[in-house]
Amino acid sequence: MATLLARAGVSCCELAEKDFLAVSPSDPRYRQVHYILLDPSCSGSGMLTRQLEEPWADTPSKERLHALAGFQQRALCHALSFPSLQRLVYSTCSLCQEENEDVVREVLQQNPGAFRLAPVLPTWPHRGLGTFPGAEHCLRASPETTLTGGFFIAVIERVEAPSSATQAKALTPELLPSPAPKRKRRRKAAAGASTLPRMQQASAQ
């Protein structure tokens, strides 16, 4: 990673060699993170070089896919737990549904209403597999359909919480505070009470 960054001329970064799942979202260094690019370990079934070097290993076993998908789900759920996160890119170089659409669907179901899929390059011809509503916002590529290496991309963004003004408008009349009683009526009542002894004195005379 350090070599690739240096080769690209990137200097505004800091490498941290640690387990991402062990990074605390409340850590002062990371709790203000707004954007995350999550490119977890995957089967690499879309990598052309691997297909050329290991043509017999282009289809991962079910056991390997299950283990990879489990880790990918944990990593994605952990990434979405960062409190200031606004948008996340989830990407793999895999063609397998288990590592792509299935992972995204499962994690969104675990966070109902908190996040949604954003369209990725809408004009791109190859979309996500229609395994759940919104999967068409994802992007796929493969040597057969797009003449590229195989990969998958999903953009997940946080659903904005309603503002305090919107919440106030939504309150029912029963929940709104009742108006305070008018003080003018109290003054009249007090004035009437104060004149009563004078009237009694006049009748007595």
Which residues have a catalytic role annotated?
A: 93
Whose tokens are 């299950």? That residue is 66
- DSSP for 12-62? S-----S-GGGS-TTSTTTTT--EEEE------TT-HHHHHH-GGGSS--H
Q: Which residue ranges are tagged as binding site for S-adenosyl-L-methionine? A: 19, 39
Whose tokens are 């499962």? That residue is 106
Alpha carbons 34 and 197: distance in angstroms, whole number: 75
Alpha carbons 59 and 94: distance in angstroms, whole number: 10
Q: Which residue ranges are tagged as binding site? A: 19, 39
Sign of the alpha-carbon torsion through 50, 153, 28, 111:
negative
